[in-house]
Structure 1
Amino acid sequence: MKSFPKPLSTKEETDYLRRCKEGDKEARDKLIEHNLRLVAHIVKKYNMIDKETDDLISIGTIGLIKAIDTFDDEKGIRLATYASRCIDNELLMMLRSGKRLAKEVYLYDPIGSDREGNEINLLDIIEEAEIDIVESIVLEDDIKKLYHIIGKVLTDREREIICLRYGLSNRKEVTQREIAGMLGISRSYVSRIEKKALKKLRECFEG
C-alpha cells in the first residue's frame, strides 16, 4: 500500500473530476493514480493461484479506468463508491472466465492511514447509504440488460410466458396454472417452456 499515492481530498477529487469531464488528460491520470490504493485493496481479497498480484492490479485498474470514464457525479455518489463496484466487476468477470471463486471484500479491512496515522478502512470512504445507491444503479443496468436479452433470445411464446410468470413490463405475476388457462395449454407444458426460457436467459446473461 505504501507504494500507492494517498487518496485525494474531496475538494481535489471534485476539481479533477470536473477537469477530466472537460477532457483534461492530466486530471484523468491523477484520478487513476490516486485511486490505485483502492484497486490494490480489492485485489488482495482474491485468491488466485495462477495470477500474480501485478496482473490482478492491472485487471482491476481497467475497472477503475472504466469507472472514471463513466462516472456521473449527478447520481449523488462518490467516485470511490462507484469505482469499487467497477473494479470488483472487472475482477469477477476475469474469475468467471477462469471458473474461480473470489473472497469477499470486507468493508472493515484497512486500506491505509490518514495524515494523523489513523487506520482507514473501506467503510470510511464508502457510506452505507451510498452502497445502496450503487446497488440500485447496478440493478437498473442488469434489468435493462435482461429486457434486451429477453427480446433477443426468446421465442414469442417463451417471452410471453416469462413476462406473465414474473410480472415483467408492469404486468401482474401469475401462476403456471393461470398461464396454462390463458394460453389453452397444460401446466406441465408451461413449466417446460419456462425452464427452457430461463436456461436461455441465464446462459446469455452470464455469457
Structure 2
Amino acid sequence: MCRYNETEDEVLIQRLRAGESMIADYLMEKYKGLVRKKARAMFLIGGDTDDLIQEGMIGLFKAVRDYQPDRETSFQSFANMCIDRQIYSAIKSSNRQKHQPLNTYISLSDREMEENLRDSCTEHDNPEAILIDRENVTALKKEMKKSLSSLENQVFQLYIAGNGYVEIAEILGKTPKAVDNALRRIRKKMKRCF
C-alpha cells in the first residue's frame, strides 16, 4: 500500500477504474482518520460515535465509488462532502425511538459546523429554520463553555480532535480514569445545556 503514497488521489481513482482494486482499500485506510475526526466532532448525547463512524465510512465508500476525476473538485473535497452528507443523512433519517441519540446530535467543531450547515442544505430546507439552528448551536456552545471547567475544556478539545483516553491522559499528565470522569461530567453538563 505504501507504493500509492506518492500518487495523487485523482490519479489513483483513474487507476482504480482501470482495474487496480487494491487502491480502494488504500483510499479507505487513508481517509479513515478523517471519518473518525468528523464522527467525534458530533457529540451524541447519551450515544456512541461508532454509529457515526460507520455512517462516515459508508460516505467514504460512496466517494471512492462515485468520484469523477474529470470534475473540477479534488477527491479530498468530494470525500469530505460525501462523509458529511452521509452522517447528516443518518442523523436526519433516524426518527425511530431506538435511534434517539442520533436525533439529538450537536456539532461542536466551529469551522466544520459552518461548512457542514452550508453543505447539508437542500432546496427543501427552510432558511429561517437553518438560521434558528445556527443561533441555537451558538448559544449552546456559549453555555457549554461557561459550564465546563478548564480541565473539562482541555479534555473535550483533545477528544473531538480524535485522541483516545490514554492519549489525552498522557498529554495532560492525568490518569485515564480522570479523563473518563471528565468526559462523563461533560456529557452530563451537555444534557443539562441541551
Looking at CA atoms only, which structure, 1 or 2, has the larger radius of gyration?
1
The normalised TM-score by structure 1 is 0.45
The normalised TM-score by structure 2 is 0.48
